[in-house]
Structure 1
Amino acid sequence: MKKVLFLISGIFICLTSLTNPAKAQTITILQQDKPTSIRGLSVVNDKTAWISGSKGYIAKTADGGKTWTWQQVKGYEKSDFRDIEAFSDQEAIIMSSGSPSYILKTKDGGLTWQEKYQKTDTTYFLDAMDFADRRHGYILGDPINNKFLLLETKDGGETWAESTNPPEALPGEAAFAASGTCLRVLESGTIYVASGGKSSRLISLSNGSSQWNYANLPISQGKSSEGAFSLSTGKNESIIVGGDYANDKKTDSVAAIQTSANTAVFVLTKGGPQGFQSSVEYLGGHIFLSTGTPGSNITTDGGQTWRQIDTTSFNVCRKAKHGKLVLLAGNGGKIALFKM
């Protein structure tokens, strides 16, 4: 009888874990107490990841986040590297926000960095960077003369040029350099931009088209601290998160979902993330992870319902391009590991 009860209990536990996977999710701090605010995070595979932050700090791991090699890029100690794109343990590109604006590249694992772009004009403010493949990438910047700044490279970041067809911007509309994820470039070449401020929109350009598309978002907007901060696309849904970073406990109008690729309409999620979220990442299936200053949240049903899994403040979460490793990063040099 005891054996039968033990067997039934074991089966019940297994079924419970399968039907309620959120209970098994954990976030574990790997690094902290560094004098930098991390907003750039690029996870190459299950071993290699890079981060970038304020005061010129860069770090890299080669063992899945267990240990990190830190550096303060010489000559750029005052730069705020808001985004990073890594292609391997040797090659990476970093982008600084503020003035001057810089784009640097390394080919030797960070031993040396080459300056590929510099702009001292204070109207230039770089927000995010993303690549369709190893050679073709974009950097989004705040609007200048009612047009978003869009830089493009076709040679892996060696040279950058301003796009001759940037998207239009409404008065008071901008992008947020919060996590490097307000810009997403798909492998197909399609570009997505999530904006905020006085207006919050999803702006997109399909590969091969010259016509930008604009869709209003049902997310907090109207103030310079409000809007869409991050977007992520899955196989069946696209999710946009944001809110008001000046009122980060506010829970209404924080996330919106698009459940069909055939429509540009986004609807608010019911019972969305608990407060302002600056980053969202697709993990597979119908699972998305989001994070922000009030903590991290997860949805396992494509954004229909959310569950807060941690109350630690982070700025960004990213999944490996080739693998399952998921990391988070934030202020104070904080880096954490997410596990299902």
Structure 2
Amino acid sequence: MGLCAAALAAALAGAVPAQARGDAKTPHWELKDSGTDVRLRGLSAVSRDTAWVAGSKGTVLRTTDGGTHWRNVSPPGAADLEFRDIEAFDARRAVVLAIGEGEASRVLHTDDGGATWTESFRNTDAKAFYDCITFLDRRHGLAMSDPVDGRFRILSTSDGGRSWKVLPADGMPAAQDGEAGFAASGQCLVASGPRDVWLATGGGARARVLHSRDRGLTWTAADTPIPAGDPARGVFAVAFRDRTHGLAVGGDYRADQASPQAAATTPDGGRTWTPAAHPPPAYRSGVTWLPHSRSVALAVGPTGTDLTTDGGRTWRTLDTGSYDTVDCTPDLGCWASGEKGRVARLER
């Protein structure tokens, strides 16, 4: 059933963990049968009815009936590609990113619901490795690569993903030794509004968030309190509800390693970051704001889903199922996806 924003926020605020739930009306993830067992780290929610997911073995799936049925719309000949991010504009138009070294990094787009796909970018630089893609509107989008010659590389489109160009590197701060992005949830590069973009990093001495106010031409970098100093640690995902208020989540993706200070907040567009007073209990790879709310957000990872109702200062576990990424739509369609073909929609 549909919910207004205030009602859903109030219901989430009073929610208890799924394993203790006795009230069927408490908001909870409802698993949908995706028909696949591949890991689905790419997710783009269009509405409560329509969503796209993408993952391993060149897999792209689409639903237009709320997850009851999923259509396999994978590009032909893509079985060797690793899709980690997808951005959809509606039920017909989507852009998907394949990651990897050299030519494994590619961008494909469809205008007919996945019936046909066109490759619009193939990386030819052996030093580049693309991680995430984002769109500021239906025409302008960016993709990011791990550092090449000491700086993160940015790819830009102004025609909805049909063509791409590498932006000049002179507006990008120098990368730290070992610094990179994490292609874990499609949320290491995000946008809010027509010009603002943020890029999340890890692997270096400090976990940082880079911010551009001009569609990727120039960037500033800010340290976050999320631990780094290891290739497995850093900021894995960011989310901004407007151009100033943001959330960052991450930690250490290794299951046998603790992830203290796995979340942080910013009130000033990413210039400064404050650790959550009570962060999620473990590594989190995806985060999203609840639409129309100034204080409610969800974070997901392999060990569960956490909820904040105070803008990211405190988090508590809502569900213990495994998800890699999460996305919500203006009509309050919240979706999550992850390992073994898991896809779910938030229900009440």
Distance 1:18 1:120, change over 3 A: closer
Contact 2:197 2:216 in 1 (8 A): no
Letter matched to residue 46 of structure 2 = V
Q: State the match for 1:10 in structure 2.
A: none
Q: Can you list the C-alpha shifts for 1:148-206, whole angstroms capped at 9, x where unaligned?
A: 11100001111000011452311111100011111112223111111111231111111
Q: State the match for 1:95 in structure 2.
A: 97
Alignment partner for residue 167 of structure 1, among 168, 172, 181? 172
Letter matched to residue 287 of structure 1 = V
The offset of 1:50, in angstroms, is 0.5
Letter matched to residue 277 of structure 1 = R
Q: State the match for 1:282 in structure 2.
A: 289
The offset of 1:237, in angstroms, is 3.2
Letter matched to residue 314 of structure 1 = Y
The offset of 1:269, in angstroms, is 0.8
User: Structure 1 regions of 5+ residues with no counterpart?
Assistant: 1-13
Q: State the match for 1:265 in structure 2.
A: 272
Letter matched to residue 298 of structure 1 = L
Distance 1:150 1:313, change over 3 A: same
Counterpart Cα distance in 2 of 1:114 and 1:210 = 27
Contact 2:246 2:269 in 1 (8 A): no
Alignment partner for residue 297 of structure 1, among 292, 306, 311? 306
Counterpart Cα distance in 2 of 1:18 and 1:339 = 11
Letter matched to residue 306 of structure 1 = W
Q: Can you list the C-alpha shifts for 1:284-338, whole angstroms capped at 9, x where unaligned?
A: 2300100001111010111121110111111100012x42100000011110112
Counterpart Cα distance in 2 of 1:46 and 1:88 = 12
Taking every aligned residue pair, what percent have the same amino acid on both sides? Answer: 33
Aligned ranges 1:127-166 → 2 under 5 Å: 127-165=131-169
Q: TM-score, normalised by structure 1?
A: 0.89
Contact 2:83 2:97 in 1 (8 A): yes
Q: TM-score, normalised by structure 2?
A: 0.87
Contact 1:62 1:89 in 2 (8 A): yes
Distance 1:138 1:20, change over 3 A: closer
The offset of 1:209, in angstroms, is 8.9
Counterpart Cα distance in 2 of 1:204 and 1:61 = 33
Q: State the match for 1:60 in structure 2.
A: 62
Contact 2:167 2:217 in 1 (8 A): no
The offset of 1:262, in angstroms, is 7.0
Letter matched to residue 322 of structure 2 = S
Q: Can you list the C-alpha shifts for 1:184-231, whole angstroms capped at 9, x where unaligned?
A: 122231111111112311111113895421111111100000000001
Q: State the match for 1:233 in structure 2.
A: 240
SS at match of 1:95: strand
User: Structure 2 regions of 5+ residues with no counterpart?
Assistant: 1-6, 17-25
Counterpart Cα distance in 1 of 2:227 and 2:188 = 15
Q: State the match for 2:339 in structure 1.
A: 331
Q: Which moved more, 1:28-37 or 1:171-180?
A: 28-37
Q: State the match for 1:193 in structure 2.
A: 199
Contact 2:246 2:270 in 1 (8 A): no
Contact 1:251 1:272 in 2 (8 A): no
Q: Which has the larger radius of gyration?
A: 1
Counterpart Cα distance in 2 of 1:333 and 1:262 = 34
Letter matched to residue 162 of structure 1 = V
RMSD after superposition? 2.1
Counterpart Cα distance in 2 of 1:256 and 1:161 = 33
Aligned ranges 1:51-130 → 2 under 5 Å: 51-99=53-101, 100-130=104-134
Distance 1:330 1:263, change over 3 A: closer
Alignment partner for residue 39 of structure 1, among 31, 38, 41? 41
Alignment partner for residue 50 of structure 2, among 36, 45, 48? 48
Counterpart Cα distance in 2 of 1:71 and 1:107 = 12
Letter matched to residue 305 of structure 1 = T
Distance 1:209 1:143, change over 3 A: closer
Counterpart Cα distance in 2 of 1:40 and 1:239 = 19
Q: Which moved more, 1:71-80 or 1:202-211?
A: 202-211
The offset of 1:240, in angstroms, is 0.3
Q: Can you list the C-alpha shifts for 1:119-168, whole angstroms capped at 9, x where unaligned?
A: 24432211111111000000011111111111000011110000114523
Distance 1:156 1:242, change over 3 A: same
Contact 1:98 1:122 in 2 (8 A): no
Counterpart Cα distance in 2 of 1:78 and 1:234 = 35
